[in-house]
Amino acid sequence: MLTRADEFYRLMKTRRSVRGFSSSPIPPQVLESCLMTAGTAPSGANRQPWHFAVVDNPAIKQEIRLGAEAEEREFYQRRAPSEWLDALAPLGTDEHKPFLETAACLIVIFGQKFDVDNRGDKHKNYYVPESVGIATGMLITALHNAGLATLTHTPSPMKFLNNILQRPSTEKPAMILVVGYPEADTEVPDITRKTLDQIASFHNGA
Ligand code: IYR
């Protein structure tokens, strides 16, 4: 058990969010397998309230880039309070999102507030953001395990994604997961992770 747990940690601690992607294509079956892993996530009342829109079409990726950059321009130039901009400064992000076009694949993840049955009746889903968040984490983990890099990207607001991808209004975009291979010379910010003591407390018996 300990060997498996430690080996998995050693694998997962090499994961980094990447912002420079090469355009090398991803084997479709690898992607499908990782999506199946995401679909094993626990969810409120087992409603599995998620949809993954997988985009590799260059014209659609371009549309998503244009939509995202329009929102990001507003964010960086007007909407973001200075405290937020200060927090982002070490990451070196700005409103330019070329990776939305260069990366092999974008997975746009939607949460389904309702299930719609074949009579058109709506049934409320439960704990949708939590369920979708867990499934997204499992997807990122599966993709990393398969040797693929990811970036969680959240232009805000994201309603434009429903229009581009023709998803119903009962679905709310949760994030864009950019997926592919890192660009050869890409750099990542010099970050550290909190220690076990900082993230956990142990409430032992006896
Ligand atoms: N959505 C913006 C801003 C941004 C916000 C957070 I919180 C980040 O961790 C990173 C970026 C962008 O993608 O640039």
- From ligand 1's centre to the CA of 22, what distance in Å? 21
Round the CA-based radius of gyration of the chain to a whole number and report it. 18
**How confident is the model at residue 67, as a pLDDT?**
97
153 lines ligand 1 (CB under 6 A): yes
Sign for the CA dihedral angle at 68, 73, 79, 83 comes to positive
Task: Check if 45 has its Cβ closer than 6 Å to any atom of ligand 1.
Answer: no
Beta carbon of 72 within 6 Å of any ligand 1 atom: yes
pLDDT of residue 206: 73
Tell how far the Cα of 13 is from the centroid of ligand 1, in angstroms.
21
Q: 């499934």: which residue's tokens?
A: 135
Q: How many CA atoms lie within 13 A of 195 on its CB side?
A: 2
User: Mean pLDDT of all residues in the chain?
Assistant: 96
Task: Find the DSSP H helices in the chain.
Answer: 2-12, 28-38, 58-74, 82-88, 99-102, 128-145, 160-165, 196-199
Tokens for 17?
A: 């969010």
- C-beta of 155 in contact with ligand 1 (< 6 A): yes
Mean pLDDT, 10 residues at a time, the chain of 206 residues: 98 97 96 98 97 98 98 95 95 94 98 94 96 98 98 95 96 98 94 97 89
Ligand 1 binding pocket includes 17 (Cβ within 6 Å): no
Q: What would the two tokens of residue 76 be?
A: 């960086």
Give me the DSSP letters along 41-88: S--GGG---EEEEEE--HHHHHHHHHHHHHHHHHIIIIIS-HHHHHHH
Distance 183 CA to ligand 1 centre (A): 20
pLDDT of residue 112: 98
What pLDDT is recorded for position 19?
96
Looking at the CA of residue 94, tell me the nearest atom of ligand 1.
Answer: 14
Ligand 1 centre to CA of 8 (Å) is: 28
**Listing from the earlier edge strand, what are the strands of the sheet with 105-112?**
50-55, 105-112, 171-180, 149-153
88 CB under 6 A from ligand 1? yes
Minimal CA–CA distance to 151: which of 172, 191, 181?
Answer: 181
CA of 72 to the centre of ligand 1 (A): 9
